[in-house]
Amino acid sequence: MPRSAAVAVRTYLHTAAMPLQRREPRALQPRLRWLTAEIGCMLQAVRGYNDLLLVLNLLHHATTNTNSHLRLQILSTMGGLVWRQSLVWQTMLQRRRHSVTACKFKNLNSCVDEEFREMFRFRKREFMMIMHHLNLLMPDGSPTTLRVGRPGHKAVVPGDYCLMVCLARLSYPLRYVDLAKRLGGSRTICCDAFLYMVRSIDELFGHVVLDIDRWLESDNVLDCCDIMAAADHRLRHVLGFLDTTFQPCARPGGDGCVFDNMDQSDLYSGYKKQHGIKWQVLVFANGLSCTSRENPGRHSDAHVLAESNWLPLLQTVSDELGFDVCVVCDGQYSRGPNIVRRDKRHERDIPVEMSQLLNQWRILVENDFAAVHNNWQFLTHKQKIVVGTSPFARIWRVSILFHNLQTLSYGNQVTARLGYHLHHMTYATYLA
């Protein structure tokens, strides 16, 4: 509060107290009303919690030399206004405390590359590239500041801190207490930073792992077919590998469910004997993956494929290129122009050598699922996956996105088996 305002408060209190010292009852109420209005104007000029304490001290000193009757009247009249204003500034002071100015991994140069990758699944160079594409870097190279949390309780944190919390939380299901010990901050800030980062990444790049049309363009399809033909000429028309993954989750419904219309039978799989969610995943020959929208676990793999509407897109590409573009699937799918699979036990529709060959290559998609769950082990803890309360669909898409970025940098089992690496594709090209 400016010094002139402080002097004015002291003068107003002294002037109002002079006639009241002689116990003039008629002058008591008008003076107190005038005093209330003047002090209210002064409190509106308060700029901080310390200035408010100064006003309270002025009230105390101004009423020290007055009689007890006047002091009680002033305090009773001004108490409500001063108390409300003090609560406002005290709340704002508490919000300022909920901020993180730096994290323990702030100096990336002092951290060993392998140690950094072990915790965050990326090396420092790739980490800075991800920050650049997420608009978390200033022009001078310093991280931006973000406001995370629910409205009215936001915290100010650095952008690199948010990304580190997100990667560390996904790579292993650490408690927020453990994340706070490793990276700094509090449990609340770690939780807000993780949810904010998952939502932001999904809104910016969630379409990259959902948009299969981009990879079904003629040039990309021919490149994938050439990769498969180089591995085995009998698979020259194969685009990639298709399968459905089942993600277990906590049992919905009951007293702990926040949605009354949700029944546990919607997600219960009789085949898996547990509750979960299904995703259709197509792993291309270049090692990158696309995923469909989430589906209830009670549906079959064929139903999930029909809901994804991918087969008409494959047929359209086949008509453009003049040959049937195929994907390798397991025995849960029905054969068709765009689906090849091994024979079941009672089937003898294709030669035994071809059936064994397809079975060997089909394992690649299973290995890819295992790599996703090994690198992002948050997906393996179904107790943390509560349908309706946790944004697990966003978490799945973000995990697939990070898995594809890892494939661009380090490759995976699909690229190792096919002897191919995406040297020509960068993060900017993939995320465009």
- Per-domain residue ranges of the chain: 3-97, 108-204, 211-431
In the chain, the percentage of residues whose pLDDT exceeds 90 is 31
pTM of the model: 0.75
pLDDT digit string, tens, across residues 90-100: 554 444 445 55
Most confident of 21-30, 52-61, 235-244, 257-266: 235-244
Between CA 197 and CA 215 the distance in angstroms is 26
Between CA 275 and CA 80 the distance in angstroms is 55
Nearest to 294 by CA among 154, 370, 392, 376: 392
> Strand pairing of 274-284 and 238-248?
antiparallel
266 is written with which tokens?
């919607």
Between CA 231 and CA 227 the distance in angstroms is 7
Q: What is the mean pLDDT of residues 378-398?
A: 84
Provide CB contacts within 8 A for 77, sequence distance 6+: 32, 35, 36
Instruction: Indicate the angle between helix axes 159-171 and 392-410, nearest 10 degrees.
Output: 90
The amino acid at 297: G
Instruction: Tell whether the model's pLDDT for residue 21 goes beyond 60.
Output: no
Q: What is the mean pLDDT of residues 232-243?
A: 91
Residue pair 296/272 in contact by the 8 Å Cβ criterion: no
Locate tokens 């002090």: which residue? 39
Instruction: Tell whether the model's pLDDT for residue 14 goes beyond 50.
Output: yes
pLDDT digit string, tens, across residues 173-216: 788 898 888 888 888 899 999 999 999 999 999 999 998 988 89
Supply the pLDDT for residue 150: 83
Supply the pLDDT for residue 151: 82
pLDDT digit string, tens, across residues 260-315: 555 677 788 888 888 888 999 999 999 999 999 988 888 888 889 988 889 999 99
Q: What is the DSSP string of 265-333?
A: GGTEETTTTEEEEEEEEEEETTS-EEE---EETTS-HHHHHHHHT-HHHHHHHHHHHTS--EEEE-TTS
Q: How confident is the model at residue 346 (pLDDT cuts 50, 70, 90)?
A: confident
pLDDT digit string, tens, across residues 104-156: 555 566 678 888 898 899 999 999 999 999 999 888 888 898 989 888 788 88
Chain mean position to CA 119: 18
